[in-house]
Amino acid sequence: MTQTNNTEQAEKEKQELIRRYRTLLRTANKNNLSKSDRDKISKAFNIAVNAHKDVRRKSGEPYIFHPLAVAQIVAEDIGLGATSIACALMHDVVEDTEVSLDFIKQNFDEQTARIIDGLTKISNLVDQHGSIQAENFKKMLLTLNDDIRVILIKLADRLHNMRTLDSMSSNTQLKIASETQYIFAPLAHRLGLYNIKTELEDLALRYLHPLEYRNLADKLAATKTQRSRYINQFISPLEKKLEPSGIKFEIKGRAKSISSIYTKMEKNSMQFEDLYDIFAIRIILDSPIESEKNDCWLVYGAITEIYTPVPNRFKDWISNPKENGYESIHNTFIGPNGRYVEVQIRSVRMDEIAEKGYAAHWKYKEGSELPAEKQKQNIKDSSIDEWLRKVRDGLEGSKGTALEFLEDFRLNLYTEEIFVFTPKGDLKKLPLGATALDYAFEIHTDVGSKCLGAKVNGKMLPLSHKLKSGDRVEIITSQTQRPNEDWLRFVVTSKARQRIREALREEKKVVVDIGKEILQKKFASAEIPFNAQKLDELVNYYRLHSPLDLYYDIAIGKIVKEKIDLKKIQDDIIKRKSDNKTNEDSKVKIHQDYKRTKVNNKDTIILGEDLELDYTFAKCCTPIPGDNVFGFVTIGEGIKIHRTDCPNATSLFSQYGYRVMKARWASDEKKKDFLASISVSGIDSVGLVSSITNVISKELKVNMQSISFESKEGVFEGKINLYITDVSHLEGLMDKLKTVTGLDNVRRVNA
């Protein structure tokens, strides 16, 4: 019987594999594949099927379904060609099977082998817990220098992994979702892959904030019929207005994504019911390229004759496209019943670039039938190529730590853009929040390094002045000016930050030799050997990171040389070691493959598989029983317990996944009091504070640590720190507070 069932299951899986492969071919054929292209995809499919034979994913399905799904995303959602589809099908074969890179090169070509090699290197960077750390993110992004298709296929791979994340452990889900939110979604955004970016954000939210995600999904589902009715009501007069114009158009209505709604609610401390612009309408014009801009403006004018525009929400990305090639007109209009609706106007060409980003951008470049080298010459000034050039310059010029590099890179992935002008009228694009100093470094490194100030619209202003779109900027320089540490506080572009850090490092090298010479004389005078061990002890004594930092601080006088008493320092170090010996002997060294251990004392939190270790609760998120939590091994402060929705959780999981531990509340934990914080807001009225405190102290018998209120122009905001026993206790208290007349918002906040 079992044999029969296995045979039936195998036949079902075979039929499903054939069905999915045929779907992939139909999608790929939309790009008019040649016979050699179809042969390449077929060969890659057969190699992948044989290589992954009898291998299954954690979900239980055949492993070959995964590369097939990645190839489908590459073909359908990104719109790449036969080479990319073949590489997606084989993206795991060199890493996970006996297939070699030489075999790929012999059966395909150098280009295919190079892309597979890039994908394999990225796979090698993932540790056993699925967390790519900062150093490895940097290596991954370096593939932008070789072939951007490596990153595009990797994004498709990440999207399918996120779609199938249910089969993984909760800790792995949090790590992968954090990485996705931290770097992959912003990268998809910057490459113009808005559909993929949105889905990655929504899926990350589903695992990082599951309760909030389900709540918003339910509310959107409950209001779907009402929303559809309203969108049709908004669209109907537009269609009647546009039909006589002769412009071919399509109008689509949709709700904004769950992640964008959640972000807006968090940013503005709003409830779902208070959001006024969850509707979005997209008008797509089937216009020839020579008239598409004019048609977009004609349609915009027609809308303003029906609905009132909201002036401060207007965005013109047709006259000045985004760096990733995005073109569209955006504005918010006041629709029927006074509701706000965002309207986007674009052509079919613009829409395809908006949906498929980089790949569609290349499809529409002039001279697409020309040889590759000629194409590059014709399109070298296009916006997305300019952004890629900046990225490559930044990658090649980066000499700092991986964390510095990653943070600098991320700074410029999600930001909005402003447009400023040189004295000659040339346009420069900068991220929102860019300063005069960022602009100076954008002009040239030497200009930035010697920048004294700037004339903005003819007025002399400091380096830290934030620029606005339309500003005309002239930089004032001096040969005696040098970068200083203070500059890092207000620059926002990765180029400026990198160049400033490089200049500071060069300056530091000049003085460290002086500090080293001073220290060597101190060692000689104290008759103590000047070796690596003693030097490391001294670095730790002053709580510095490296000997270079020690030499530098001595040279600039931060560590006063006259106060360096090496013999006394040695005595202090010996005493510290003696005092800490007992503690060190009792510490449990935590490895990624730590063994199952049990200690006798009972505690509130159980770490790992059954570990009861010393820990403290993180002050950034103040966990309480009932919260989903994790442990994080710090340097010098032991294990910290964080909530999984802690504001720092994403960066901790993404950059230091190997230091994250599973944690859970002990089931036999006795009721204790935990500190939690809530914020309240509403219409100010006499006796309101008394009503709030009565509910907390008298009705619910909850102790408060502190309470603060501020009233301004009839509206008040307050924060209350109080002691509760667990999440259900806190939620019950918040529900009770929501019944107080005058309160319109009660929510938990971080301490």
Q: Residue 96: which of 48, 140, 156, 46 has the closest Cα?
A: 48
The overall average pLDDT reported for the chain is: 80
Active-site residue (options: 13, 96, 316, 603): 96
User: Any idea how long the chain is?
Assistant: 751
pLDDT at 350 over 70: yes
Residue 331, token pair as written in the block: 């504005």
pLDDT at 187 over 70: yes
pLDDT in tens, 546-561: 787 888 888 888 888 7
Residue 383, token pair as written in the block: 């916006």
Select the more confidently predicted residue: 270 or 144.
Answer: 270
pLDDT interval class at 660 (50, 70, 90): confident
In this prediction, residue 588 carries a pLDDT of 38
pLDDT at 89 over 90: yes
Strand partners, 681: 717, 745
Range 285-307 average pLDDT = 93
pLDDT interval class at 586 (50, 70, 90): very low
Q: Residue 249: which of 233, 257, 264, 238 has the closest Cα?
A: 238
Report percent pLDDT > 90 for the chain.
Answer: 22
Range 61-65 average pLDDT = 92
Residue type, 570: Q
Select the more confidently predicted residue: 49 or 589.
Answer: 49
Select the more confidently predicted residue: 332 or 551.
Answer: 332
CA dist., res. 201 & res. 199, Å (int): 5
Q: What's the distance, Cα to Cα, between the start and end of the chain in Å? A: 61
In this prediction, residue 69 carries a pLDDT of 95
DSSP state of 129: T
pLDDT in tens, 437-459: 999 998 988 999 999 889 998 88
Helix 170-179, helix 149-163: angle, nearest 10: 150
For the chain, domains (ranges, CATH) are 11-208 (1.10.3210.10), 227-364 (3.30.460.10), 502-586 (no CATH), 605-665 (no CATH), 674-749 (3.30.70.260)
96 is an active site residue: yes
- Cα torsion 9, 10, 15, 21 to 10°: value is 120
Range 10-29 average pLDDT = 90
pLDDT in tens, 514-526: 888 888 888 888 8
Range 581-592 average pLDDT = 41
pLDDT at 648 over 80: yes
In this prediction, residue 513 carries a pLDDT of 81
507 is an active site residue: no
In this prediction, residue 413 carries a pLDDT of 63
Range 203-212 average pLDDT = 90
pLDDT in tens, 96-144: 888 888 899 999 988 888 888 888 765 544 443 333 455 556 666 665 6
Range 643-672 average pLDDT = 76
pLDDT at 287 over 50: yes
CA distances from residue 37 to 29, 46, 68, 84 in whole angstroms, order as listed:
10, 14, 17, 11
pTM: 0.69
pLDDT at 282 over 60: yes
CA distances from residue 244 to 233, 282, 580, 582 in whole angstroms, order as listed:
19, 19, 84, 87
In this prediction, residue 178 carries a pLDDT of 87
pLDDT at 379 over 80: no
Active-site residue (options: 13, 16, 76, 95): 95
pLDDT interval class at 382 (50, 70, 90): low
Question: How many Å is the Cα radius of gyration of the chain?
Answer: 30
In this prediction, residue 20 carries a pLDDT of 93
In this prediction, residue 751 carries a pLDDT of 67
Select the more confidently predicted residue: 725 or 237.
Answer: 237
Range 408-421 average pLDDT = 70
Residues with Cβ within 8 Å of residue 572, at least 6 apart in sequence? 541
3 state SS of 644: coil
In this prediction, residue 249 carries a pLDDT of 92
Range 16-27 average pLDDT = 92
Residue pair 48/67 in contact by the 8 Å Cβ criterion:
yes
pLDDT at 331 over 90: yes
In this prediction, residue 377 carries a pLDDT of 38
Lowest mean pLDDT among 61-75, 242-256, 282-296, 599-613: 599-613
Residue 262, token pair as written in the block: 């959640």
CA dist., res. 722 & res. 299, Å (int): 55
CA dist., res. 724 & res. 677, Å (int): 10
3 state SS of 305: coil
CA dist., res. 75 & res. 72, Å (int): 5
Q: What is the β-pairing status of strands 249-255 and 279-285?
A: antiparallel
CA dist., res. 621 & res. 647, Å (int): 7
